[in-house]
Amino acid sequence: MADVTYRDAVADGIAREMRRDPTVVCLGEDIGAAEGVFKTTVGLFQEFGPKRVWDTPISEQAIVGAALGAAMTGMRPVAEIMFSDFLACCWDYMANEIPKVRYMTGGQLSAPLVVRTANGGGLGFGAQHSQAVENWTFTVPGLKVVAPSTPADVVGLMASAIRSEDPVVFFEHKGLLATKGPAAPDDHVVPLGEAAVVRDGSDVTLVALASTVPTSLAAADVLAEEGISAEVVDLRCLVPLDMRRVLDSVQRTSRLVIVEENPYQGGWGGTVASIVADEGFELLDAPIRRVAAACVPLPFADVLEAEAIPSADDVVDTVRRLTAY
């Protein structure tokens, strides 16, 4: 099966669900005839037309507000927020309305919607268009949080997200859009909350998400040349969070490094580290380490941005010190 790009997998995953379920609709800025600012909705407007692919005004509140209303009345909307940074513009809906509909109505209503958004840095878009903000949504009870690292996982996780009865925030990493991988087979579905071991190892566990998965794999290649065997776990989802897979890996390796693009302060890696310390302390032969982004607004200059975001070299240096502990 030929390889496809991550960005093409986004459009493919949505199209598959739109063909399967006529209640699935898409809305967002420039997603129709323009086919998305990142070209992640190519072909949708042509195939499904303006009744199911809706171009919206430049208003994040309008986009997610309309999606919430549509979801509460029987549709399954897939709403795009162009940059994840702009979730801040509709945060009342994201934190106070969408995740609490089922609870506040005693189950009379639900909000089966997906909010897609382009996330993360590495492309020099500057401080207001480059943040990795999975940790924002991670703090909100009632939201499921998905961040795939491969084209096949994009398709499989998109299927599960759209079919979910709960609201899902689906982070598509900008730095991965041009990357390629095997195409998803027909009827491909990846359950939410199932992490994947994408590289076996015996000396250290690297837990990663989205863009830090290829970063960790690159680090594992370097470490292998030094005789250090690194296992790489791709979380794929933050909510549900598959800590069983992480703990099983740590049981095999006895060392844990968490690699995340969120800033160190408040990043999701703090939760992963806490759970391993609480539930798997006896499995560890060394302290838990986190490799995370710096707690600074992301610079526009490439060389400075690269200093702020975790690199394979950062991971390698951390593992070297940990294995010598």
Each residue's pLDDT tens digit, 199-221: 999 999 999 999 999 999 999 99
Report if residue 302 sits inside a domain.
yes
Claim: this prediction has a pTM higher than 0.75: yes
Report if residue 59 sits inside a domain.
yes
**Parent domain of 81:** 3-182
Q: What does each C-alpha distance from 314 to 139, 155, 189 come to in angstroms?
A: 27, 30, 34
Report if residue 126 sits inside a domain.
yes
- Cα first-last separation, the chain: 44
Q: Which of 17, 35, 60, 231 is catalytic?
A: 60
Query: Is 194 in the active site?
Result: no
Indicate the pLDDT class of residue 139, thresholds 50, 70 and 90: very high
Q: 174 with 202, same domain?
A: no
User: In the chain, how many H helices and how many E strands?
Assistant: 12, 14
Q: Which of 29, 80, 129, 260 is catalytic?
A: 129
Q: 106 with 225, same domain?
A: no
Cα distance between residue 234 and residue 224, in whole Å: 19
Q: 168 with 297, same domain?
A: no
Each residue's pLDDT tens digit, 234-292: 999 999 999 999 999 999 999 999 999 999 999 999 999 999 999 999 999 999 999 99
Q: 167 with 241, same domain?
A: no
What burial letters (b/e) apply to 41-57, b meaning 16+ CB within 10 Å?
bbebbeebeeebbbebe
Residues 6 or more apart whose CB falls under 8 angstroms from that of 51 comprise none
Report if residue 189 sits inside a domain.
no
Each residue's pLDDT tens digit, 13-23: 999 999 999 99
* Domains of the chain: total: 2
Cα distance between residue 113 and residue 162, in whole Å: 7
What burial letters (b/e) apply to 164-184, b meaning 16+ CB within 10 Å?
bebbbbbbbbbbbbebebebb
* Confidence (pLDDT) at 256: 98
Query: Is 60 in the active site?
Result: yes
